[in-house]
Amino acid sequence: MKTSILVILSFVFGYSYGQNSVLIQNDPAELHSQIFSLSPMSKKVDKVNGFVFGVGHVENKNVEHQTINGLNMEVNPAPVVGAFYAFMSLMYMDEIIKNNKKSDSIKNTEDYYRIKNMNHSPHLMLNGLNISTGCFFTTTSMNGLNVSAGNKFNNFNGLSVTILGTISDHQNGLSIGIYNANNNLAGSTVGIYNQSYQLSGLHLGIFNQTRINRGVQIGVLNKSNSKGFQLGLWNVNNKRSMPFLNW
């Protein structure tokens, strides 16, 4: 009899604890979706289906991931920070040149071409349109149209129109800017300087550089550490250097 009572009590308390755990994990007061939010987004908001406006998205270790389906608009302070950084760089130009000379030994190696991903929380997923004066300060992947001064993504699918350029790990689509860099390009980049670790699409610019060329480079100077189709005034790969056309 005592054994039966203990079994029943264990079942009741175990069931109650399980119910409380489920309620805690799914408590709508902790995480919820909404149609409008300011940025940076609150840690209690995991999804916005609509419109986000503010100064941008930054690292927040209290939330794992957030999603925006719709329009993200930012009055981002990054250009001011960038201008200050450029001013400070001019003051220490001699030291910067010396440090860059030390890194010449890694040129043409894998580390030279690889883009290091940001690994911050939250991982922001944006599906739609981003209009910003700056860039994201947390790990971001995007599907859609990006119009900004410059930006960095883990994964980007769509069209990115920037002043400075677009940096990404995996890119499918088109990016337009002064400097475009990625690890895997299955789309196209248009700019003054385009760099890819592995190119499966198109580089169109003044100077194009890739480690593995499985696509096409069109520019004034094209460089590849493998074979690949190149059209330009001067073309360099691991087999030969030629004007106008190389493969």
Residues 244 and 172 in one domain: no
Domain of 246, in residue numbers: 179-247
pLDDT value at residue 154: 95
Angstrom distances, CA of residue 240 to CA of 142, 204, 225, 230: 38, 21, 10, 11
* CB 173, CB 158: distance < 8 Å: yes
Residue that is last in its domain, among 142, 161, 177: 177
**In sequence order, which ranges of the chain are alpha helices (DSSP H)?**
2-25, 78-91, 93-102, 110-113
Residue 191 and residue 162 in one domain: no
Whether 3 is in a domain gets the answer no
Residue 20 lies in a domain: no
Instruction: Output the pTM of the full model.
Output: 0.78
Within this chain, do residues 45 and 137 fall inside the same structural domain, yes or no?
Answer: yes
Do residues 48 and 159 both lie within one domain? Answer: yes
DSSP string, 125-140: EEEEEEEESS--BS-E
**Which residues neighbour 139 within 8 Å (Cβ) at sequence distance 6 or greater?**
117, 118, 119, 120, 121, 122, 123, 124, 154
- If asked whether residues 195 and 95 sit together in one domain, one would say no
Q: Does residue 170 belong to any structural domain of this protein?
A: yes
| β-bridge mates for residue 175, sequence order | 160, 189
- pLDDT value of position 85: 52
Same domain, 155 and 62: yes
Q: Does some domain include residue 13? A: no
- Flag whether 77 is in a domain: yes
Of 152, 177, 202, the position where a domain reaches its end is: 177
Domain tally for the chain? 2
Look at residue 200 and tell me if it is in a domain: yes
Same domain, 146 and 205: no
In this prediction, residue 99 carries a pLDDT of: 54
**Residue 126 domain-assigned (yes or no):** yes
Report the DSSP pairing between strands 229-236 and 241-246: antiparallel
- Asked whether residue 23 is assigned to any structural domain, the reply reads no
Q: How confident is the model at residue 9, as a pLDDT?
A: 33
Q: Are residues 77 and 122 in the same domain?
A: yes
Q: What is the mean pLDDT of each run of 10 residues along the chain (247 residues)?
A: 38 35 43 93 95 93 94 86 54 53 56 80 96 93 96 96 95 96 96 96 97 97 95 95 95
Residue 31 has what pLDDT? 75
pLDDT value for 32: 86
CB neighbour list of residue 128: distance below 8 Å, 6 or more residues apart: 68, 69, 70, 71, 72, 143, 144, 145
